[in-house]
Structure 1
Amino acid sequence: MQMWTLDLVAILATRSLSHQLGMVSIAISATQQSALNGNKLCQDLGYDGLGVLRTPEAYAYALRITKPLRLTEKAYFYVGLRRFLNPTRFVWDDGTTLATDMHLDKDYNYIGKISRVGTLRMITHLRWWRLMELQNVVANQPTQVSFKLSESTASSSIKCVVMCSQETLCRLPDFRADISTCTLFGPGTLNTTENAASTTFIRVAYEAMREEYS
């Protein structure tokens, strides 16, 4: 079976400048580029070329080092995709299926954009905490989360969040104050090949939370 895989990171945004983040230099283009043109653009600027993401860990690292630019500079980062015939799904180089809640808006034909909330699209009712590496997204209910890990009694939303932080697979804690119930959800499932144990996201903190009501 032939399939898509993540390959090249095309560093594209709305302004032209360069940033040095850790061991990786990021050149930002004023316009979108194809993978071929983007690679040449990087080389013309003195870089080795486009970065390559072949593992969840590499993708998590890309999220981390680009976070300041995405959040403060409002820059956009795109991931080019290697194209094969008869594309059926996205996988990493080792064949692992991508987590459905990774921060990537996907266009199966050409390119995917690293996004704020990933492919788990939200609807605007109920109080939810989405707690992953990139940021917290509050007061929304995900439409594709279907993996229910557990349900138990909790006296506060903070305790519910802590329970999620102690569960490796937890992506979303849902606290219902009216019945003092905490429900933990794992990665959403789009197909039967989904890898529920994906390490795409490394949770590093549960930062300031706020409550919103629709």
Structure 2
Amino acid sequence: MTFFNPFVRELIFILLQLSVSDADLFNFQVTETSQNVSRGEELCRDSGYDGLAIVNFPEAYSFALRILSPLASRNDSYLPAFVGVRSYEGTGEIMWDDRTAPASDEHFSGQQNGQKTRVGRITNTGGIKLTSRESLRHALCGDRKS
């Protein structure tokens, strides 16, 4: 015996999805101190995360901006936090750490130009800057979803 017709079940499902907050969808945490990317990744793993956060779709990116905004400096247009995207030495290929390619609407700056592997840091201006692995930043930790 069915208590709800298919339309009502679908409507209830949609309403339940809309009531879930971003904090329930994304498991991100910011490290307390600035460090190079290798140390940041180590701190993320030591805290139980898979590594640096993958923010490769709008909802994840918006949530990341919200939790990183307290770290923003008035003198720097870049939020001081590494995220899990890199350009690789030699090829210049840009990939997220889960080996997915960036979407065509994701904006990156600081391209490869034959330099060593560069890592991403999230910006206030709506993009991701590729920067040196040795610069000192906070790390945005996150879990990879399968």
State TM-score, norm by structure 2: 0.44
State TM-score, norm by structure 1: 0.32
> Which protein, 1 or 2, shows the higher relative CO under an 8 Å CA cutoff with sep ≥ 6?
2
Q: Which has the higher helix share?
A: 2
